[in-house]
Amino acid sequence: MKKLLAVSLLIALLLCGCASNAPVEREIFAMDTVMTVRVWGDDSDVAAAVSEINRLDALLSVIYENSEVYALNRDGEAELSFDVFDLLVEAIEVSRRTDGAFDPTVYPFVELWGFTKDTQALPSQREIDAVLPLIGFEQVECDGDTVTLVNGGKIDLGGIAKGYTAQKVVELLQERGVETAFLNLGGNVQTLGSKPDGEAWVVGIADPENPSQAIACLRFTDSLALVTSGGYQRYFEENGVRFHHILDPKTGCPADSGLASVTVLAQDGAIADGLSTALFVMGIENATTLWRKSDDFEAVFITQDGAIFATEGAASLLTDCEFTVIER
Ligand code: AMP
Ligand code: MG
């Protein structure tokens, strides 16, 4: 029986200076993590944001028996409401562009390793091989709003749901006329607009060796989503070996790409979240190849030996550390 060590991602938010109007802030627990919603608006804006988070949590959870994802996994087929369908389509798009490094059908592996439970255990190769045919985003078939999992597999949107939720909350706040907000949904950070006092947003990247400390900071002034995937965030240990929660869908084992963490910066929260998981699986070389042919994200990589690499766009925001720039 192994104890799960869940280390929450450090987000060092330095809200210094005096804002012209003070933000309203609420901390909640949803999607199995602590979340902070900070809105330069009024109580009703924060309440709307919180209720949107809870609404999406209820639909997207792989664990809640009333969720649509749970029903799809249980029945192999389900008619999905707009958000679940929309997110599943986005998840499959991330799968395609990352050659399956991100794959929402990874859930049978997540279950096998026990990451949905309080206890984890090392599966045998035979158990992994038995599950392998269930994995593959090609087995998700859509007919209108009805989705079928053709091989009897199961989906898990946990690698992208928080980013999608942050994106939806930002859009909702914009519709309500809010110009400035800061969301930290369990390490998925998303900002809306510039701080009223003109100061930069400052978001720390956790040191994978010492996650309560920042190893670097990103400073920027406008809307941005920043999501970190790291092997230190959720793992168990057996005989001194660490087994983390980001699985390589091709092997069924924790990804071993030489990276300790990846932080993805993007305008869209779901893309940042899906890609952070995918790039962690792909490793720095394949991730760089993908970045060179994309124009919708930037990334900061921390290798297992502690070196920091940043794509050009991320490099221009990165401070308080030494790093190597990855050029186009
Ligand atoms: P994140 O923290 O965003 O990197 O997401 C990690 C979570 O996504 C895990 O706890 C699993 O629920 C799920 N997951 C693990 N590996 C993958 C993968 N290769 N593709 C998609 N989801 C994954
Ligand atoms: Mg992710």
Tell me the per-residue pLDDT of 133-172, one tens digit each, with 9 for 90 and over.
999 999 999 999 999 999 889 999 999 999 999 999 999 9
Evaluate: CB of 186 within 6 angstroms of ligand 1: no
Confidence at residue 109, expressed as pLDDT on a 0 to 100 scale: 97
For ligand 1, mutation pick of 128, 246, 259 (most atoms within 8 Å of CB): 246
d(CA 66, CA 102): 25
More confident site: 120 or 281: 281
Evaluate: CB of 249 within 6 angstroms of ligand 1: yes
Report the pLDDT averaged over residues 213-238. Answer: 96
Confidence at residue 121, expressed as pLDDT on a 0 to 100 scale: 83
Tell me how crowded residue 27 is: count the other CB atoms within 10 A of its CB.
Answer: 11
Q: Is 5 helix (H, G, I), strand (E, B) or coil?
A: strand
Evaluate: CB of 158 within 6 angstroms of ligand 1: yes
CA of 273 to the centre of ligand 2 (A): 4
Confidence at residue 116, expressed as pLDDT on a 0 to 100 scale: 84
Predicted TM-score (pTM) of this structure: 0.93
d(CA 243, CA 240): 10
Which ligand is the nearest neighbour of the Cα of 259? 1
CA of 246 to the centre of ligand 1 (A): 5
Among 130, 110, 132, residue whose Cα is nearest residue 120: 110
Long-range contacts of 170-173 (CB under 8 A, 24+ apart): 170/223, 170/269, 172/48, 172/49, 172/52, 173/39, 173/41, 173/45, 173/48, 173/49
Report the pLDDT averaged over residues 208-234. Answer: 97
Q: Is 116 helix (H, G, I), strand (E, B) or coil?
A: coil
Tell me how crowded residue 73 is: count the other CB atoms within 10 A of its CB.
Answer: 20
Report the pLDDT averaged over residues 256-260. Answer: 97
Confidence at residue 153, expressed as pLDDT on a 0 to 100 scale: 95
